[in-house]
C-alpha cells in the first residue's frame, strides 16, 4: 500500500471456513486457538499427550499425530519445548503433512527442524509457513540488525520465500500479556516466600 502497488498478484488466499485445522499442544493457548478456529467454521483436530477436556468441549477432536498431519490444511504448534517435542516437526512429519498445507509455529523455535522445513518449502510440499519463533533466535530477535549483515544463513534463506511470514517473537507483546506475566511472577514470588512453593512451578525439562 505504501508503495502504491494495489495489484492482487500473489495475494490469493483461502477461506478458513470448512478447512481442517490441526492443533498440536492443547494447553490454555492451544485451547483458545481451537475455540477461535471452531468459530470460523473449521473442523479442529487436536494432539496432546494429555487431552484437555476444555479443548474437547470447545469442539476439537483428539486424533493421533499422524492423522492430524495427514488431514490438516493448517497445522498450528502450541506445545512447550521438551526433549519429546524437540524437532517434533522434522522431515518425516513434513512428508506426512497434507501437500500444500500451512504450518504455523508460535510455540518454541526448536519444535520444528528448520532445515527440513526449508527443504519442504523448496519442493512445494509445504504450502506456506508462519513463524513467530526460530531455533537460533537468541542472536537475532529483540534487536535492530537492519544496518548489518545477517550471519545466520538458514534464517536468511527463510526470508527469501514469498510464502513465508516471520515475526520476531512478538506474539506475546501486548500490554495485557505483559501485565499478566508480571502478576504471575509476583504471585509466584509471594507464594514461594510464604510456603516455599510457587503457584505455577515450571520444571527444568520444560525449559530445555
Residue 137: active-site member: yes
Q: Active-site residue among 19, 78, 108, 135?
A: 108
Q: Active-site residue among 137, 143, 200, 205?
A: 137
- For residue 208 the three cell numbers come to 530445555
Cα–Cα distances in Å, from 27 out to 95, 104, 165? 26, 16, 25
Q: Active-site residue among 19, 78, 135, 169?
A: 169
178: region left, alpha or beta (phi > 0 left; psi from -120 to 50 alpha): alpha
- For residue 9 the three cell numbers come to 498478484
The H-or-E segment that residue 22 falls in is strand 20-24
CA distance 145 to 139: 10
> 174 near 50, Cβ under 8 Å?
no
N-to-C CA span, the chain: 42
Residue 169: active-site member: yes
Q: For cell 514469498, name the residue.
A: 162
- The candidate with the shortest Cα–Cα distance to 30, out of 44, 16, 9, is 44
Residue 61: active-site member: no
Report, as residue numbers or ranges, the catalytic residues.
108, 137, 169
Amino acid at each position: 500500500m505504501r508503495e502504491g502497488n494495489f495489484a492482487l498478484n500473489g495475494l490469493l488466499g483461502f477461506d478458513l471456513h470448512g478447512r481442517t485445522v490441526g492443533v498440536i499442544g492443547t494447553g490454555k493457548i492451544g485451547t483458545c486457538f481451537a475455540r477461535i478456529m471452531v468459530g470460523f467454521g473449521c473442523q479442529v483436530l487436536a494432539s496432546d499427550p494429555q487431552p484437555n477436556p476444555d479443548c474437547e468441549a470447545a469442539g476439537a477432536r483428539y486424533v493421533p499425530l499422524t492423522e492430524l498431519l495427514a488431514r490438516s490444511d493448517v497445522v498450528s504448534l502450541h506445545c512447550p519445548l521438551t526433549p519429546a517435542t524437540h524437532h517434533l516437526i522434522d522431515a518425516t512429519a513434513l512428508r506426512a503433512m497434507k501437500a500444500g498445507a500451512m504450518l504455523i509455529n508460535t510455540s518454541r523455535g526448536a519444535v520444528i527442524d528448520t532445515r527440513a522445513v526449508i527443504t519442504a518449502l523448496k519442493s512445494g510440499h509445504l504450502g506456506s509457513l508462519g513463524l513467530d519463533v526460530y531455533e537460533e533466535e537468541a542472536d537475532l530477535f529483540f534487536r535492530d540488525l537492519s544496518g548489518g549483515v545477517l550471519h545466520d544463513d538458514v534464517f536468511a534463506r527463510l526470508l527469501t520465500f514469498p510464502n513465508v511470514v516471520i515475526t520476531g517473537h512478538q506474539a506475546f507483546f501486548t500490554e495485557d500479556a505483559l501485565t499478566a506475566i508480571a502478576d504471575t511472577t509476583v504471585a509466584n514470588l509471594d507464594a514461594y516466600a510464604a510456603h516455599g512453593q510457587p503457584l505455577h512451578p515450571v520444571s527444568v525439562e520444560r525449559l530445555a
